[in-house]
Structure 1
Amino acid sequence: MKDIALHDAYIDAAPPQFRAVLGELRAHLARALPDAEEVMRYDMPGFEIDGTIIAGYAAFSKQCGLYLDPAAIKAHAGEIAALNLKATKTGITFSPSRPIGGELIEKLAVSSRRAKGL
């Protein structure tokens, strides 16, 4: 079942300063993963293909996060660092004033999918 309404509700419930950037993040993920299903897992919106989460996103009190396969983050570590974004093994955090660019979001999503063999 698609959880599109739950993604909408998640974004609407996020702090006001994050809503636009979350909407853009969602749109770029949807564009990069057109056959993915929008799902909610662990109280977080995500994009799933064949039962496997390819990408997820979240809002916190001071930042947002994009969560992907570790290989995707590693493959684009230079681009992430060039934007002065904080990356962990499985995620990238950012603020509305310094969001991840759409092109990089889409590259990361495709890399995450490829790393999961889908």
Structure 2
Amino acid sequence: MTAEKKKFTTVDEYINTFPEHVQFLLEVIRDTIKEAAPEAEEVISYNIPAFKFHGMLIFYSAYKNHISISIPPSKVYEVFKEELSAYKVSKSAIQLPLNEKLPVKLIENMTRFRLKENLETAEEKKKGKITA
């Protein structure tokens, strides 16, 4: 796949480099994240699609046999440990096989959890600045 060879400037540009069935899955993930975090800004970061809201929220990318959901250091891996046990999970990424149904509700719930985490972190930083 050509996704890693080109420098992307838009999410559409990234998604359009994949076969139709993968494009469809990426759009489902994109829409799911947008619905769960409507105030988040869609960006390209590390040359893959991502969302920002008071810091990086969640990334997603496609590969030959899977789609990866990448999440910066978070408690999401602890909180959703049981649901994630069906997938290959590393310290910062979850591999979703292309030949399996997308866990849309799980992606939605993890995005909402990340949103809450980022808001709490932003509030803590704000309080720290006010009292300093």
TM-score (norm 1): 0.84
Aligned position for 1:111: 113
By relative contact order (CA 8 Å, sep 6+), the higher-ranking structure is 1
CA contact (8 A) 1:38 1:48 kept: yes
The correspondence of residues 1-118 of structure 1 with structure 2, limited to 5 A, is: 6-50=10-54, 52-69=55-72, 70-81=74-85, 84-116=86-118, 117=120
CA contact (8 A) 1:68 1:109 kept: no
Q: Which runs of 5+ in 2 are unaligned?
A: 1-8, 123-132
Which amino acid letter does the alignment assign opposite residue 85 of structure 1?
Y
> Over aligned residue pairs, what C-alpha RMSD do you find?
1.7
SS at match of 1:13: coil
1:97 and 1:31 map into 2 onto residues whose CA distance is: 24
Q: Which runs of 5+ in 1 are unaligned?
A: none
Q: Give 1:63 deviation, angstroms.
A: 1.4
2:102 and 2:57 map into 1 onto residues whose CA distance is: 17
TM-score (norm 2): 0.76
Which amino acid letter does the alignment assign opposite residue 92 of structure 1?
I
CA contact (8 A) 1:72 1:115 kept: no
SS at match of 1:28: helix
Aligned residues: 111
Range with greater deviation from structure 2 (105-114 or 65-74): 65-74
- Could you list the per-position Cα deviations for residues 27-53 of structure 1 after superposition, in whole angstroms to 9, with x for gaps in the alignment? 100000000010011101101013x11
Range with greater deviation from structure 2 (38-47 or 96-105): 96-105
